[in-house]
Amino acid sequence: MNMPDYIGPMAFGLKMGVILPGMDIVEKVYERMVDCYRDGLLNNGDVVCITESVVARAQNNYITIDDIAREVKNKLKLPDAGKIAVIFPIASRNRFSMILKGIARAVPGGEVIVQLSFPDDEVGNQVISPDFVLQMNRDPITLEDIGDRSFKHPVTGVDYINLYRSIIEDEGAKAVILLSNDPRQALQYGPDGVIAADIHKRDKTLKTITDWFENALTLAQLCDEGESYSEWGLLGSNMSAGERIKLAPREGQAVVDALQEKLLAVFDLKVEVMIYGDGAYLDPSSGIYELADPRAAFAITAGLNCVREGLKYKYLADQCYHVEKKTAEEIEEILRSSVERRLTEDCLEKEGTTPRRMEDVLASLADLVSGSADAGTPVVVVKGFLRPC
């Protein structure tokens, strides 16, 4: 479908049916692209966005709680009744509760020290009341300080402090929960090993820890090899059925490149492809930063490796009309020619248009279109969005 001139960028979701382990995800998406091409819905410059969940499921990229326990125990060389510290995990049942269960299972009869940042985790989930933080006016805050108070997440209603404590205790380990924004604080409890469990600042956190304590790693270094693995380790993983965890997709670059090459060979169309995860946006109502994946896109084809920026149409239109007294027709021509010519980064025409990574913008758009509930559209086609980078 060649879009008429009066239509701007658009995105639509594609229903794919159930994707199961062992299916060829490239072939499944290609089959739907055949339908799109037949119906005039696929053109040069389009972007095909595939959610990470169906790629990982097709790859059968699952691990178990016991797999995590073995990884933690072996990589940190922990004794059965060892003591392990977990620094800055996010407050999430889907993203972290099962991982914590595996960590606790690695030290039966031992101890798990969970250090949470406060008042929020790194993606904006409230861990403790900001009013209580002001009242305490100290770092760290311990369970003894909290006492019998319960701090429930304002959106999910979950008390993550008590949830994480109960998960550890259910595995037969002692739970120590503390709140501190200094990653070195948990070292005072004498752990045998440390996991930097944050997502976006994990390398900085690990560096701070290893300046004082050597036996430490990040979540990205767990479950990053073997029959089921991801280059991202446990980052980007999600709770699955039973005691299973779905990892992020592995070797995603091979997937997007293969689909792009097939579409070019069969239809003679240059289409960009990405595997996307969480959208990289901040919810203004809850204050939660949705990006619990290590990045918004796990893999992209080469044409998306650029920055998206644009013209400040409002400025140009006002300047041309109020200052230069141009007609509507003249302004239209100026806008058209401005799009075609290269402008310097600091020019007024670009004022207020913040450059953003193309993959982040497109992944966020695709995530909003597909949603995470029952829409059943894990593939999104974006049209009219790309410009030469």
C-beta separation of 58 from 254 below 8 A = no
**What's the CA gap between 343 and 211, in Å, rounded?**
46
**What CATH number corresponds to the domain at position 45?**
3.30.1330.100
Residues 133 and 220 in one domain: yes
**What CATH number corresponds to the domain at position 132?**
3.40.50
CA distances for 56 relative to 48, 93, 199, angstroms: 17, 20, 19
Residues 163 and 265 in one domain: no
Q: Biggest alpha carbon distance in the chain? A: 79
C-beta separation of 370 from 51 below 8 A = yes
**What's the CA gap between 125 and 127, in Å, rounded?**
6
Give residue 257's domain range.
10-61+249-309+356-383
Residues 75 and 190 in one domain: yes
Residues 114 and 199 in one domain: yes
Residues 320 and 374 in one domain: no
Query: pTM of this prediction?
Result: 0.88
Residues 70 and 167 in one domain: yes
Number of domains in the chain: 3
Residues 195 and 323 in one domain: no
In a domain, 295, yes or no: yes
In a domain, 1, yes or no: no
If you count them, how many residues does the chain have? 389
Q: What is the 3-state secondary structure (H, E, C) of the chain?
A: CCCCCCCCCEEEEECCCCCCCCCCHHHHHHHHHHHHHHCCCCCCCCEEEEEHHHHHHHCCCEEEHHHHHHHHHHHHCCCCCCEEEEECCCCCHHHHHHHHHHHHHCCCCCEEEEEECCCECCCCCECCCHHHHHHHCCCCEEHHHHCCCCCCCCCCCCCHHHHHHHHHHHCCCEEEEEECCCCCHHHHHCCCEEEECCCCCHHHHHHHHHCCCCCEEEHHHCCCCCCCCCCCCCCCCEECCCCEEECCCCCHHHHHHHHHHHHHHHHCCCCEEEEECCCCCECCCCCCECCCCCCCEEEECHHHCCEECCCCHHHHHHHHHHHCCCCHHHHHHHHHHHHHCCCCCCCHHHCCCCCEEHHHHHHHHHHHHHCCCCCCCCEEEEECCCCCC
In a domain, 50, yes or no: yes
Residues 268 and 362 in one domain: yes
In a domain, 230, yes or no: no
In a domain, 388, yes or no: no
In a domain, 233, yes or no: no
In a domain, 5, yes or no: no
pLDDT for res 325: 74
In a domain, 232, yes or no: no
Residue that is last in its domain, among 175, 210, 225: 225
Q: Block means of pLDDT (10 residues each) for the chain, length 389 residues? A: 77 94 97 96 96 96 97 96 97 96 97 98 95 95 94 94 97 97 97 98 97 97 95 96 95 98 97 95 87 96 83 63 71 62 46 73 93 79 78
Nearest to 126 by CA among 266, 287, 252, 340: 287
Decide: residue 184, CB within 10 A, 0-12 exposed, 13-18 middle, 19+ buried.
middle
Residues 30 and 125 in one domain: no
**What's the CA gap between 170 and 164, in Å, rounded?**
10
Residues 66 and 183 in one domain: yes
Residues 296 and 376 in one domain: yes
User: 140 preceded by cis ω (within 30°)?
Assistant: yes
Centre a 10 Å sphere on the Cβ of residue 78 and count the other Cβ atoms it contains.
Answer: 21
Residues 56 and 69 in one domain: no
Nearest to 248 by CA among 274, 224, 284: 224
